[in-house]
Structure 1
Amino acid sequence: MPSSAALRTWLIAPALLAALALAGCSASAPWAADPSPSATPTPVATAAQPVPNDLSTGSTRRTLQAGPLGLSIDYWSDLLMDKWTAGALKPVSMNLLATVTPDDGKSVYLQRAAMLATPMNGATALPTLAAQVDTSSVAPGYLALDPYSYSQTFTVGAVPEEATHVVLLFTYDMLVQTTPTSDQYAKQTATDTLTVAIAPTPAG
Protein backbone atom coordinates (compact mmCIF):
# COMPACT_ATOMS: atom_id res chain seq x y z
CA MET A 1 0.00 0.00 0.00
CA PRO A 2 1.52 3.40 -1.00
CA SER A 3 2.58 5.67 1.76
CA SER A 4 0.61 8.82 2.56
CA ALA A 5 3.40 11.02 1.08
CA ALA A 6 3.37 9.13 -2.20
CA LEU A 7 -0.40 9.36 -2.32
CA ARG A 8 -0.30 13.13 -1.90
CA THR A 9 2.26 13.41 -4.73
CA TRP A 10 0.11 11.23 -6.98
CA LEU A 11 -2.96 13.41 -6.33
CA ILE A 12 -1.21 16.81 -6.71
CA ALA A 13 0.59 16.06 -9.98
CA PRO A 14 -2.56 15.67 -12.14
CA ALA A 15 -4.09 18.78 -10.57
CA LEU A 16 -0.97 20.81 -11.34
CA LEU A 17 -0.92 19.61 -14.95
CA ALA A 18 -4.58 20.55 -15.35
CA ALA A 19 -3.96 24.06 -13.97
CA LEU A 20 -1.05 24.58 -16.33
CA ALA A 21 -3.16 23.42 -19.26
CA LEU A 22 -5.93 25.86 -18.34
CA ALA A 23 -3.44 28.70 -18.04
CA GLY A 24 -2.05 27.88 -21.47
CA CYS A 25 -5.51 27.87 -23.01
CA SER A 26 -6.38 31.27 -21.56
CA ALA A 27 -3.32 32.99 -23.05
CA SER A 28 -3.81 34.42 -26.54
CA ALA A 29 -1.54 33.11 -29.24
CA PRO A 30 0.84 35.74 -30.71
CA TRP A 31 -0.73 35.37 -34.14
CA ALA A 32 -4.21 35.96 -32.72
CA ALA A 33 -3.39 39.44 -31.39
CA ASP A 34 -5.07 42.39 -33.05
CA PRO A 35 -2.73 43.99 -35.56
CA SER A 36 -1.47 47.46 -34.69
CA PRO A 37 -3.34 50.19 -36.57
CA SER A 38 -1.38 51.46 -39.56
CA ALA A 39 -0.07 55.03 -39.30
CA THR A 40 -2.14 57.57 -41.26
CA PRO A 41 0.00 60.10 -43.18
CA THR A 42 -0.43 63.61 -41.88
CA PRO A 43 -1.57 65.91 -44.68
CA VAL A 44 0.92 68.67 -45.45
CA ALA A 45 -0.64 72.09 -45.75
CA THR A 46 0.21 73.94 -48.95
CA ALA A 47 1.18 77.52 -48.32
CA ALA A 48 -0.85 80.03 -50.31
CA GLN A 49 1.19 81.76 -52.99
CA PRO A 50 1.66 85.46 -52.28
CA VAL A 51 -0.23 87.76 -54.62
CA PRO A 52 2.00 90.23 -56.48
CA ASN A 53 1.25 93.87 -55.79
CA ASP A 54 2.90 96.66 -57.78
CA LEU A 55 1.47 99.22 -55.36
CA SER A 56 2.53 97.41 -52.18
CA THR A 57 4.52 100.48 -51.12
CA GLY A 58 1.76 102.84 -52.22
CA SER A 59 3.33 103.90 -55.52
CA THR A 60 5.53 102.79 -58.39
CA ARG A 61 7.32 104.37 -61.36
CA ARG A 62 7.53 102.94 -64.87
CA THR A 63 9.65 103.94 -67.86
CA LEU A 64 8.25 103.15 -71.31
CA GLN A 65 9.55 103.63 -74.84
CA ALA A 66 7.31 104.32 -77.83
CA GLY A 67 9.26 105.17 -80.97
CA PRO A 68 11.15 108.43 -80.33
CA LEU A 69 9.24 108.97 -77.09
CA GLY A 70 10.39 108.17 -73.60
CA LEU A 71 7.57 108.09 -71.05
CA SER A 72 8.07 108.32 -67.30
CA ILE A 73 4.86 107.38 -65.47
CA ASP A 74 4.18 107.50 -61.75
CA TYR A 75 1.28 105.46 -60.35
CA TRP A 76 -0.15 105.66 -56.84
CA SER A 77 -3.33 105.20 -54.83
CA ASP A 78 -4.65 107.43 -52.07
CA LEU A 79 -6.50 104.40 -50.68
CA LEU A 80 -4.45 102.25 -48.30
CA MET A 81 -3.79 98.76 -49.63
CA ASP A 82 -5.68 97.08 -46.77
CA LYS A 83 -8.74 99.06 -47.92
CA TRP A 84 -8.53 97.67 -51.46
CA THR A 85 -11.37 95.26 -50.77
CA ALA A 86 -13.60 93.70 -53.42
CA GLY A 87 -16.53 96.06 -52.87
CA ALA A 88 -14.56 99.29 -52.45
CA LEU A 89 -14.05 102.01 -55.05
CA LYS A 90 -10.30 101.87 -55.56
CA PRO A 91 -8.62 104.97 -57.06
CA VAL A 92 -5.46 104.74 -59.17
CA SER A 93 -3.76 108.02 -60.01
CA MET A 94 -1.05 108.50 -62.62
CA ASN A 95 1.23 111.22 -63.91
CA LEU A 96 2.88 110.97 -67.34
CA LEU A 97 5.89 112.97 -68.50
CA ALA A 98 7.22 112.60 -72.06
CA THR A 99 10.57 113.30 -73.69
CA VAL A 100 11.41 113.07 -77.40
CA THR A 101 14.62 112.13 -79.19
CA PRO A 102 16.05 114.12 -80.82
CA ASP A 103 14.99 117.02 -78.66
CA ASP A 104 14.75 119.49 -81.52
CA GLY A 105 11.67 121.46 -80.54
CA LYS A 106 8.89 119.05 -81.56
CA SER A 107 5.85 119.04 -79.28
CA VAL A 108 4.30 115.90 -77.77
CA TYR A 109 0.63 115.49 -76.91
CA LEU A 110 -1.48 112.85 -75.22
CA GLN A 111 -4.55 112.18 -77.34
CA ARG A 112 -6.15 109.40 -75.29
CA ALA A 113 -5.56 107.47 -72.06
CA ALA A 114 -7.49 104.37 -71.02
CA MET A 115 -7.53 101.84 -68.19
CA LEU A 116 -9.00 98.34 -68.43
CA ALA A 117 -9.34 96.38 -65.16
CA THR A 118 -9.55 92.58 -65.13
CA PRO A 119 -10.19 90.90 -61.74
CA MET A 120 -8.35 87.61 -61.21
CA ASN A 121 -8.80 84.60 -58.95
CA GLY A 122 -5.35 83.08 -58.96
CA ALA A 123 -4.66 82.41 -62.63
CA THR A 124 -8.34 82.54 -63.61
CA ALA A 125 -9.63 85.73 -65.22
CA LEU A 126 -13.00 87.01 -64.05
CA PRO A 127 -15.26 89.33 -66.11
CA THR A 128 -13.43 92.51 -67.12
CA LEU A 129 -14.81 95.81 -65.86
CA ALA A 130 -15.93 98.54 -68.25
CA ALA A 131 -13.02 100.48 -69.73
CA GLN A 132 -12.35 103.97 -68.43
CA VAL A 133 -11.22 106.37 -71.14
CA ASP A 134 -10.03 109.97 -71.13
CA THR A 135 -10.02 111.44 -74.64
CA SER A 136 -8.55 114.90 -75.08
CA SER A 137 -11.15 117.64 -75.39
CA VAL A 138 -8.64 119.91 -77.13
CA ALA A 139 -6.81 119.46 -80.43
CA PRO A 140 -4.40 117.90 -81.04
CA GLY A 141 -4.26 116.68 -77.43
CA TYR A 142 -2.99 117.44 -73.94
CA LEU A 143 0.55 118.79 -73.97
CA ALA A 144 2.70 116.20 -72.21
CA LEU A 145 6.28 117.17 -73.09
CA ASP A 146 8.62 117.83 -70.16
CA PRO A 147 8.20 120.09 -68.16
CA TYR A 148 4.46 119.68 -68.82
CA SER A 149 2.79 116.45 -67.77
CA TYR A 150 -0.53 114.65 -67.98
CA SER A 151 -2.28 113.53 -64.78
CA GLN A 152 -5.44 111.51 -64.28
CA THR A 153 -7.22 109.40 -61.67
CA PHE A 154 -9.02 106.23 -62.70
CA THR A 155 -11.23 104.14 -60.43
CA VAL A 156 -11.39 100.36 -60.08
CA GLY A 157 -14.97 99.54 -59.17
CA ALA A 158 -16.40 96.59 -57.27
CA VAL A 159 -15.02 93.19 -58.23
CA PRO A 160 -16.23 89.67 -57.33
CA GLU A 161 -15.57 88.60 -53.73
CA GLU A 162 -13.43 85.69 -54.94
CA ALA A 163 -10.98 88.04 -56.70
CA THR A 164 -7.45 87.85 -55.31
CA HIS A 165 -6.01 90.67 -57.40
CA VAL A 166 -6.75 92.90 -60.36
CA VAL A 167 -4.69 93.46 -63.51
CA LEU A 168 -4.80 97.02 -64.82
CA LEU A 169 -3.98 97.60 -68.49
CA PHE A 170 -3.14 101.20 -69.37
CA THR A 171 -3.03 102.46 -72.96
CA TYR A 172 -1.57 105.83 -73.96
CA ASP A 173 -2.06 107.28 -77.45
CA MET A 174 0.54 109.97 -78.07
CA LEU A 175 0.99 112.45 -80.93
CA VAL A 176 4.41 113.79 -81.95
CA GLN A 177 4.95 116.67 -84.35
CA THR A 178 6.71 115.54 -87.51
CA THR A 179 8.75 118.77 -87.47
CA PRO A 180 8.87 121.62 -84.94
CA THR A 181 6.71 123.84 -87.15
CA SER A 182 4.43 121.18 -88.68
CA ASP A 183 0.72 120.74 -88.09
CA GLN A 184 1.08 117.05 -88.89
CA TYR A 185 1.61 114.44 -86.20
CA ALA A 186 2.85 110.89 -85.86
CA LYS A 187 0.93 108.64 -83.51
CA GLN A 188 2.74 106.46 -80.97
CA THR A 189 0.98 104.08 -78.59
CA ALA A 190 2.41 102.81 -75.30
CA THR A 191 0.89 100.22 -72.97
CA ASP A 192 1.61 99.35 -69.37
CA THR A 193 0.28 96.80 -66.88
CA LEU A 194 -0.05 96.95 -63.10
CA THR A 195 -1.08 94.14 -60.76
CA VAL A 196 -2.71 95.17 -57.49
CA ALA A 197 -3.78 92.79 -54.71
CA ILE A 198 -7.36 92.71 -53.42
CA ALA A 199 -7.50 92.82 -49.61
CA PRO A 200 -9.80 90.44 -47.69
CA THR A 201 -13.17 91.89 -46.77
CA PRO A 202 -13.34 92.37 -42.97
CA ALA A 203 -15.63 89.92 -41.21
CA GLY A 204 -18.98 91.28 -40.11
Structure 2
Amino acid sequence: MRPPAPPPPRRRRALLVGAVLIGTATLSACQLPDVSMSPSAAEVAVTSAPAATSSSPADRRSGTGTTDEAVVTSPATTEAVAAPTRPAGELDTGSATHVVTAGDRQVVVDWWTTQQATAWTADVEKSVQLAAHLEGGDPDLEVLITRFSAVLDDGTTRTSLVDDRGEFAFQPPYPYGTALTVPASPAGTASVSLDVQFDLLVETEPGSQRYFRQTVLDTLVLPFAAPAGATPSQETR
Protein backbone atom coordinates (compact mmCIF):
# COMPACT_ATOMS: atom_id res chain seq x y z
CA MET A 1 0.00 0.00 0.00
CA ARG A 2 1.39 3.40 -0.88
CA PRO A 3 1.77 6.27 1.66
CA PRO A 4 -0.47 9.30 1.19
CA ALA A 5 0.88 11.98 -0.98
CA PRO A 6 2.19 15.18 0.77
CA PRO A 7 -0.08 18.21 0.64
CA PRO A 8 0.64 20.83 -1.85
CA PRO A 9 3.01 23.71 -0.82
CA ARG A 10 0.31 26.40 -0.63
CA ARG A 11 -1.65 24.51 1.94
CA ARG A 12 1.42 24.17 4.16
CA ARG A 13 2.01 27.92 4.11
CA ALA A 14 -1.61 28.58 5.03
CA LEU A 15 -1.40 26.24 7.98
CA LEU A 16 1.84 27.91 9.20
CA VAL A 17 0.31 31.40 9.05
CA GLY A 18 -2.73 30.23 10.98
CA ALA A 19 -0.58 28.74 13.72
CA VAL A 20 1.33 32.01 14.10
CA LEU A 21 -1.90 34.03 14.42
CA ILE A 22 -3.30 31.66 17.02
CA GLY A 23 -0.08 31.90 19.12
CA THR A 24 -0.14 35.71 19.02
CA ALA A 25 -3.74 35.82 20.18
CA THR A 26 -2.95 33.46 23.02
CA LEU A 27 -0.06 35.63 24.24
CA SER A 28 -2.18 38.78 24.16
CA ALA A 29 -4.91 37.08 26.19
CA CYS A 30 -2.47 36.03 28.98
CA GLN A 31 -1.60 39.28 30.77
CA LEU A 32 1.36 39.47 33.18
CA PRO A 33 0.59 40.67 36.75
CA ASP A 34 0.96 44.39 37.36
CA VAL A 35 3.93 44.82 39.70
CA SER A 36 4.09 48.59 39.48
CA MET A 37 1.86 48.99 42.60
CA SER A 38 3.69 46.44 44.77
CA PRO A 39 5.48 48.09 47.72
CA SER A 40 9.23 47.97 47.66
CA ALA A 41 11.24 46.17 50.34
CA ALA A 42 12.24 49.50 51.90
CA GLU A 43 8.60 50.61 52.10
CA VAL A 44 7.63 47.33 53.73
CA ALA A 45 10.38 47.75 56.34
CA VAL A 46 9.29 51.31 57.11
CA THR A 47 5.62 50.35 57.31
CA SER A 48 6.19 47.34 59.56
CA ALA A 49 8.52 49.13 62.00
CA PRO A 50 6.68 50.46 65.09
CA ALA A 51 6.62 54.18 65.55
CA ALA A 52 9.30 55.23 68.01
CA THR A 53 8.54 57.90 70.53
CA SER A 54 10.98 59.80 72.66
CA SER A 55 10.78 62.32 75.38
CA SER A 56 13.36 64.54 76.93
CA PRO A 57 14.38 64.21 80.62
CA ALA A 58 12.50 67.45 81.27
CA ASP A 59 9.35 65.98 79.72
CA ARG A 60 9.66 62.87 81.84
CA ARG A 61 10.03 64.94 84.99
CA SER A 62 7.09 67.20 84.13
CA GLY A 63 4.90 64.36 82.89
CA THR A 64 4.47 65.84 79.37
CA GLY A 65 6.43 63.11 77.60
CA THR A 66 4.72 60.46 75.56
CA THR A 67 6.19 57.62 77.62
CA ASP A 68 4.86 56.99 81.11
CA GLU A 69 7.59 56.28 83.66
CA ALA A 70 7.14 55.38 87.33
CA VAL A 71 9.50 57.34 89.56
CA VAL A 72 10.49 55.27 92.58
CA THR A 73 11.90 57.04 95.63
CA SER A 74 13.35 55.30 98.65
CA PRO A 75 11.77 56.55 101.88
CA ALA A 76 14.14 57.63 104.63
CA THR A 77 14.63 54.94 107.23
CA THR A 78 15.19 55.59 110.89
CA GLU A 79 17.35 53.26 112.92
CA ALA A 80 17.43 53.33 116.69
CA VAL A 81 20.92 53.43 118.14
CA ALA A 82 21.05 51.56 121.41
CA ALA A 83 22.32 53.43 124.43
CA PRO A 84 25.77 52.31 125.63
CA THR A 85 25.65 49.44 128.10
CA ARG A 86 26.81 50.38 131.59
CA PRO A 87 29.85 48.30 132.58
CA ALA A 88 29.96 46.65 135.97
CA GLY A 89 31.31 48.81 138.79
CA GLU A 90 33.34 47.79 141.83
CA LEU A 91 30.76 49.26 144.20
CA ASP A 92 27.80 47.51 142.56
CA THR A 93 27.81 45.08 145.49
CA GLY A 94 28.25 47.94 147.98
CA SER A 95 31.98 47.68 148.73
CA ALA A 96 35.41 46.92 147.29
CA THR A 97 38.88 46.35 148.75
CA HIS A 98 42.19 47.33 147.15
CA VAL A 99 45.62 46.24 148.38
CA VAL A 100 48.58 48.44 147.42
CA THR A 101 52.16 47.41 148.16
CA ALA A 102 54.35 49.96 149.96
CA GLY A 103 57.80 48.50 150.59
CA ASP A 104 57.50 45.60 153.02
CA ARG A 105 53.97 46.69 153.92
CA GLN A 106 50.60 46.74 152.24
CA VAL A 107 48.15 49.60 152.38
CA VAL A 108 44.65 48.11 152.40
CA VAL A 109 41.97 50.53 151.17
CA ASP A 110 38.33 49.64 151.80
CA TRP A 111 35.79 51.51 149.65
CA TRP A 112 32.02 51.43 150.21
CA THR A 113 28.78 53.31 149.75
CA THR A 114 25.37 53.19 151.38
CA GLN A 115 23.72 54.19 148.09
CA GLN A 116 22.73 51.99 145.16
CA ALA A 117 25.75 52.33 142.90
CA THR A 118 24.07 50.61 139.94
CA ALA A 119 21.54 53.47 139.78
CA TRP A 120 24.10 56.28 139.81
CA THR A 121 23.82 58.72 136.93
CA ALA A 122 26.16 61.54 135.96
CA ASP A 123 23.71 64.27 136.96
CA VAL A 124 23.37 63.37 140.65
CA GLU A 125 25.65 63.70 143.68
CA LYS A 126 27.18 60.55 145.15
CA SER A 127 28.66 59.64 148.52
CA VAL A 128 31.64 57.29 148.91
CA GLN A 129 33.55 56.33 152.05
CA LEU A 130 37.00 54.84 152.44
CA ALA A 131 39.13 53.51 155.28
CA ALA A 132 42.81 52.58 154.94
CA HIS A 133 45.10 50.61 157.24
CA LEU A 134 48.57 49.04 157.18
CA GLU A 135 49.42 45.35 157.13
CA GLY A 136 52.87 43.74 157.44
CA GLY A 137 56.23 45.30 158.22
CA ASP A 138 57.74 46.05 161.62
CA PRO A 139 54.91 47.02 164.00
CA ASP A 140 57.37 48.94 166.21
CA LEU A 141 58.14 51.51 163.51
CA GLU A 142 56.07 54.65 163.54
CA VAL A 143 54.20 55.46 160.32
CA LEU A 144 52.52 58.80 159.74
CA ILE A 145 50.22 60.13 157.03
CA THR A 146 51.26 63.70 156.29
CA ARG A 147 48.89 64.27 153.39
CA PHE A 148 45.82 62.60 151.92
CA SER A 149 44.31 63.91 148.68
CA ALA A 150 41.38 62.81 146.53
CA VAL A 151 40.79 64.07 142.98
CA LEU A 152 37.75 63.53 140.76
CA ASP A 153 38.57 62.92 137.08
CA ASP A 154 35.71 62.88 134.56
CA GLY A 155 37.96 62.54 131.52
CA THR A 156 37.87 66.27 130.82
CA THR A 157 38.62 68.03 134.10
CA ARG A 158 40.19 67.11 137.42
CA THR A 159 38.54 68.44 140.57
CA SER A 160 40.06 68.30 144.04
CA LEU A 161 37.69 66.74 146.58
CA VAL A 162 39.95 66.45 149.63
CA ASP A 163 43.40 67.76 150.55
CA ASP A 164 44.01 66.72 154.15
CA ARG A 165 47.40 67.63 155.64
CA GLY A 166 48.85 66.85 159.07
CA GLU A 167 50.65 64.07 160.93
CA PHE A 168 48.16 61.27 161.37
CA ALA A 169 49.16 58.01 163.07
CA PHE A 170 48.87 55.17 160.59
CA GLN A 171 50.65 52.19 162.11
CA PRO A 172 48.40 49.42 163.49
CA PRO A 173 45.91 49.60 165.01
CA TYR A 174 45.24 53.09 163.67
CA PRO A 175 43.43 53.41 160.33
CA TYR A 176 42.76 56.48 158.27
CA GLY A 177 39.18 57.07 157.14
CA THR A 178 37.23 59.77 155.34
CA ALA A 179 34.05 60.39 153.35
CA LEU A 180 34.02 61.76 149.82
CA THR A 181 31.19 63.70 148.22
CA VAL A 182 31.26 63.22 144.45
CA PRO A 183 29.53 66.14 142.68
CA ALA A 184 27.38 65.82 139.57
CA SER A 185 29.24 65.51 136.29
CA PRO A 186 28.42 67.00 132.87
CA ALA A 187 25.63 65.33 130.92
CA GLY A 188 26.85 62.43 128.84
CA THR A 189 29.68 61.48 131.21
CA ALA A 190 29.92 57.69 131.19
CA SER A 191 32.15 57.30 134.24
CA VAL A 192 34.49 59.10 136.62
CA SER A 193 37.50 58.01 138.61
CA LEU A 194 38.49 58.81 142.17
CA ASP A 195 42.27 59.14 142.41
CA VAL A 196 43.60 59.12 145.98
CA GLN A 197 47.13 59.65 147.29
CA PHE A 198 48.64 58.84 150.69
CA ASP A 199 51.93 60.56 151.58
CA LEU A 200 53.61 58.51 154.33
CA LEU A 201 56.52 59.07 156.69
CA VAL A 202 58.01 55.77 157.88
CA GLU A 203 60.43 55.68 160.81
CA THR A 204 63.85 54.26 159.95
CA GLU A 205 64.36 52.59 163.36
CA PRO A 206 62.09 52.25 166.35
CA GLY A 207 62.27 55.43 168.42
CA SER A 208 64.78 57.15 166.10
CA GLN A 209 62.35 59.87 165.09
CA ARG A 210 63.93 59.79 161.66
CA TYR A 211 61.68 59.05 158.69
CA PHE A 212 61.66 58.30 155.00
CA ARG A 213 58.90 59.23 152.54
CA GLN A 214 56.55 56.82 150.75
CA THR A 215 53.69 57.72 148.42
CA VAL A 216 50.79 55.32 147.85
CA LEU A 217 48.29 55.78 145.00
CA ASP A 218 44.91 54.15 144.43
CA THR A 219 42.02 54.63 141.98
CA LEU A 220 38.33 53.71 142.02
CA VAL A 221 36.21 53.95 138.84
CA LEU A 222 32.51 54.81 139.10
CA PRO A 223 30.47 53.95 135.98
CA PHE A 224 27.13 55.68 135.40
CA ALA A 225 23.78 54.52 134.08
CA ALA A 226 21.75 56.49 131.55
CA PRO A 227 19.52 59.15 133.18
CA ALA A 228 15.93 58.16 133.94
CA GLY A 229 13.64 58.78 130.98
CA ALA A 230 16.50 58.89 128.50
CA THR A 231 15.78 57.22 125.16
CA PRO A 232 18.25 55.82 122.66
CA SER A 233 19.37 58.32 120.07
CA GLN A 234 18.08 57.92 116.52
CA GLU A 235 20.00 58.07 113.31
CA THR A 236 18.20 58.90 110.08
CA ARG A 237 19.50 57.53 106.83
* TM-score (normalised: structure 2): 0.59
Query: Closer, same or farther in 2 for the Cα pair 1:100/1:184, shift >3 Å?
Result: farther
Q: d(CA) in 2 for partners of 1:82 and 1:151?
A: 24
* Deviation of the 1:48 alpha carbon: 3.4
Deviations 1:151-187 (A, max 9, x none): 1111111110111111111111111111111111111
Residue pairs, 1:27-176, within 5 angstroms: 48-101=84-137, 103=138, 105-119=140-154, 125-136=155-166, 141-176=167-202
Cα deviations by residue, 1:59-78 (Å, 9 ceiling, x for unpaired): 10011111232111100112
Structure 2 residues without counterparts, runs of 5 or longer = 1-69, 71-78, 231-237
Look up the match of 2:214.
Answer: 188
**SS of residue paired to 1:175:** strand
Query: What's the secondary structure of 2:123's corresponding residue?
Result: coil
CA-based RMSD:
3.0
Partner Cα distance (1:51, 1:129) in 2? 23
Q: How many residues align?
A: 162
Contact 2:106 2:136 in 1 (8 A): yes
Q: Deviations over 1:71-113 (max 9, x none)?
A: 1110011222145222322111111111342x25101121111
Describe the SS at the equivalent of 2:216: strand
Distance in 2 between residues matched to 1:145 and 1:104, nearest whole Å: 7
SS at match of 2:163: strand
TM-score normalised by length of structure 1: 0.67
For residue 52 of structure 1, report the CA deviation from its aligned partner: 4.0
